[in-house]
Structures are given as C-alpha cells and as structure tokens.
Amino acid sequence: MHSPFFKLSRWLAAIAAVSVLSAASCTDKKDLSEKEDSSQFVTLTDAVPDAILEIRYFGTYNFVGSRIDGYLEPTALITRKAGEALKAVSDDVMAKGYRLKIYDAYRPQAGVDHFVRWAADVQDTLMKAYFYPDLDKSVLFEQEYIMEYSGHTRGSTVDLTLFDMTTEKELDMGGTFDWFGPESHPDFCGNPQTGEYTGDNSKSPQGRSITREQFHHRMILREAMLRHGFKPLSSEWWHFTLKDEPFPDTYFTFPVRQLGQ
C-alpha cells in the first residue's frame, strides 16, 4: 500500500502535467491566432493607388503552371508599414514617368507549401521552358530557388517591376519575373553598387545577356526601392523587403483576398 505522501506526490505531478499541457495548448492557440491576424495589413492598392496588379500566382502563368494555394482573389496584401514605404517609392518613380507593377506581395504559408510540393515532384516540368530551361528541377532546393519559408509570408516583401507611362508597356528588364538563373541576379552584366554596366555575362550557362539599357532599367527600380527603406535580394532583380519589417519572425497563414471577408 502506498503512503499518503506518495499519493499526494502523484496527485501534484498529475496537476503539474495538466498545467503544462494546458499552457502549451494556449501557446499554440496564441501562435495560430497571431499567424491568422491580418489587422496590420492593407490591400496594396489602397496604400499605393497608382500601382498596377498582375498577380501571377492567382493565374496559371507562373513556374508551377496553376493557381497557387492560398490565393483566393487577384489582389495583393502588404503590411501597413511596408505599404507606406511603397507609396513613397511610387511617388518617386511616378515623377520619372513610371508606375509600379506588382507581381506578388504577401504570400500565405499555404502558397509556400504548394511550391515545396511542386518542387519535390521532379516529373512535373510543365513550365520549364518558360522559367527554368537551364536547370534540372532536382536542383531547385539545393540552389535555394524553392525553400520551406519565404520572406513574403512575413508580409513586407514585394515582387515588382516598372510600367512606362509613355509607351504604356512594362519597362524592358531583359528577363521575366521568376526566371530561375543567374540572368535574374542584380549584378548580372553590371555592378548594382555603382550602377555601372559591364556586359559581363560569364555566369549565364547559355551565354545569355542583357543590354546596357535593360541593366539601367533594373537600376531605376532598385535605386528607388533602396531610397525608401527596402533591401534587395542578391538573386532576383524584382524582389525587395522592407529593412525595418514589423513582423520579422512571423509567417502568416491567412489567404490572399480582400481584407475583412
């Protein structure tokens, strides 16, 4: 027969275990609610009325070839803070005769998970000719074209280009959005730190190149983004993240659709 002290100890241990489980459950619910909280986000075109949207992941013209999970409407969302900075960029380039054209902004974790599943299926090469003709799909994880987490999911990253108001066409950047290869790097054929065009295309596996004018166009976008608090990515001329992003450690889960629904 166990002593009263033994019974009391077991009872206290059980109470402690229940408390730990309860606290963990509360923490999980708190983390989940934070990831689902869109209250600090705005519709991008509300923050930047002059922006043009071409939400590639809502349609089928993207490297997957289908609509991406989590994109329920052809709109773009962004944190309020990043939206304010992007409005300053828009005003800057508008004065030079351009408008911002947005391909992607906030990306829910479901969208990133879709990319990961697609990359794991090496037999699915539907869009290879358009976005990664020089790569075997098996290297996409290794070369970090696809990763399990994206800065877009934190809400302060945007993929964009410039629209020329005179020609009424996208500015020629010498390459398509989401091209997987060195031709997309900001330092391809030039030095982005100085804005100098060098013509060095030695990193291109097929000897592709961009012109002086195309490199200059990339620099117009880059310099405007940097002036207003965004930082670039070394592998994509179109990708920028707010330096002082408000949610550096939160990967949100709510879908892309009009806020308030």
pLDDT of residue 29: 54
Q: What is the pLDDT of residues 83-100, one digit of tens each?
A: 999 999 999 999 999 999
Q: Where are the domains of the chain?
A: 1-35, 40-242
Residue range 197-215: mean pLDDT, rounded: 98
Cβ neighbours, 10 Å, residue 11: 10
Q: What is the pLDDT of residues 3-23, one digit of tens each?
A: 444 444 444 444 344 444 344
The crossing angle, in degrees rounded to 10, of helices 212-227 and 80-94 is 130
Residue 26 has pLDDT above 80, yes or no: no
pLDDT number for residue 258? 94
Which of the following is catalytic: 73, 84, 170, 236? 236
- Measured between alpha carbons, how far is 150 from 218 in angstroms, rounded to an integer? 23
CATH architecture entry for 40-242: 2-Layer Sandwich (3.30)
pLDDT digits (tens, 9 = 90+) for 98-127: 999 999 999 999 999 999 999 999 999 999
Q: Is 236 a catalytic residue?
A: yes
Nearest C-alpha neighbor of 252 from the set 20, 24, 31, 12? 31
